[in-house]
Amino acid sequence: GSGLHAKFVAKGKQFWGSCADSALLNKPSNVAILRSDFGQVTPENSMKWDSLQPNRGTFNFGNADTLVNWAVSNGKLIRGHTLVWHSQLPGWVQGINDRSTLTSVINTHIATAAGRWAGKIHAVSHWDVVNECLNEDGTMRQSVFFNVLGESFVTLAFQAARAADSTAKLYINDYNLDYNNAKTQGIVALTRRVNANGKLIDGIGTQMHLEAGGVTGVLAALTALAGADVDVAITELDIKGAASNDYVTVVRACLQTPRCLAITTWGVSDVDSWRASNTPLLFDSNYRPKAAYNAVISALS
Binding site for ligand G3I (CB under 6 A): 44-45, 87-88, 207, 236, 274
CA 278 – CA 246 distance, rounded (Å): 14
The residue at minimum Cβ distance from ligand G3I is 274
- Residue 87 vs 167, nearer CB to ligand G3I: 87
How remote is the C-alpha of 220 from its chain's centroid? 20
CB of 21 to ligand G3I, least distance (A): 8
Query: Phi and psi dihedrals of 13, rounded to 5?
Result: -95, 165
CB of 100 to ligand G3I, least distance (A): 29
CB of 12 to ligand G3I, least distance (A): 27
- Planar angle of CA 3, 79, 156, nearest 5 degrees: 160
Query: Phi and psi dihedrals of 139, rounded to 5?
Result: -85, 170
Rg, the chain, Cα only:
18
- Residue 26 vs 87, nearer CB to ligand G3I: 87
Instruction: Give the DSSP H or E segment for 204.
Output: strand 203-206
Amino acid 92 reads W
CB of 155 to ligand G3I, least distance (A): 22
Strand partners, 138: none
- Planar angle of CA 165, 171, 177, nearest 5 degrees: 170
- Residue 146 vs 274, nearer CB to ligand G3I: 274
CB of 230 to ligand G3I, least distance (A): 19
- Measured in residues, the chain has a length of 301
Q: Is 132 a catalytic residue?
A: yes
- Residue 69 vs 88, nearer CB to ligand G3I: 88
Q: Is 151 a catalytic residue?
A: no
Which of the residues 44, 136, 151, 236 is marked catalytic?
236
Question: Is the separation of the CB atoms in 184 and 177 below 8 Å?
Answer: yes
CB of 54 to ligand G3I, least distance (A): 12
* 121 burial level (CB within 10 Å; 0-12, 13-18, 19+): exposed
- Residue 236 vs 270, nearer CB to ligand G3I: 236
Which of the residues 132, 136, 151, 211 is marked catalytic?
132
Question: Is the separation of the CB atoms in 183 and 135 below 8 Å?
Answer: yes
CA 74 – CA 96 distance, rounded (Å): 40
- Residue 63 vs 180, nearer CB to ligand G3I: 63
Which residues are marked as active site? 132, 236
